Amino acid sequence: MSAKLIDGKAIAAAVRARVKENIAEFTGRTGVRPGLTVVLVGEDPASQVYVRNKGKAADEAGFLSRQIDLPAETNERVLLDLVARLNADDTVHGILVQLPLPGQIDEAKVIEAIDPRKDVDGLHPMNAGCLFTGRTAFIPCTPYGILRMLDHEKVELKGKHAVMVGRSNLVGKPAAMLLLSRHATVTICHSRTVDLPYVVRSGDVVVAAVGRAEMIRGSWIKPGAVVIDVGMNRNAEGKLCGDVAFDEAKEVAGLITPVPGGVGPMTIAMLLQNTYEAASRRAAVR
């Protein structure tokens, strides 16, 4: 019996609709349109698509949406100066600098330069530290979306074994912290883990964010497990696929996300949620 598909598009649409309602109410009450500014350095095709989709979603939700394009040869000081100006701009509630950045720019410096109160990507060390210690923080958008999907499907995490395959600052580490906050027992593993199939097979919930096309096979999945595939790759035939061998895994898992149409739409939806929260927090302290 095939697994039930988790429809990320539908869940994301519901989140975006709620954010749009909240924005309309907020703007009507305060006279302020929450502002999101996205900065794109260079002309990476994938980044251009992501940024365009983020801008379109922000416009549709009622945000004051801006995109700033900089040439690939932009130096670090120019970008840091731009971030400083955005930090000081009261019409900007959320700042997102699209990653990756060209090699001459230190990504860590740029992330640290963003005002933590406007860090709607949730990557600033202050927000990461708050997440780690269980305090209120902006959560990175993809892990935030994963948690929302699990909540939507009423997946009980308390006491369950969650296996996080991947250890990036963007997905793996924050997702592990979120699962831990829901009282799951969490194992973080990666491509160098000894006997990775054995570790993955022990998971009641498996989150795959390792960046290798169809690396996780169906035989690695525990029968009935929940499988969340964060990967976005091209296989040998050029077809878009995840980190999980979907056709194999769907015959074993209980719930599974497709690629595309799973986690991807949630990332943009939660960016909008974070930006609305940033504007709300700013209004509350005035």
Assess whether 98 carries a catalytic annotation: yes
Q: 48 catalytic, yes or no? A: no
Catalytic residue among 54, 118, 222, 250: 54
Q: Choosing from 7, 9, 90, 98, which is the catalytic residue?
A: 98
Catalytic member of 118, 119, 121, 204 = 121
Residue 204 a catalytic site member:
no
- Beta-carbon contacts of 142 under 8 Å, excluding residues fewer than 6 positions away, are 170, 171, 175, 209, 230, 263, 266, 267, 270
Catalytic positions, written as ranges: 54, 98, 121
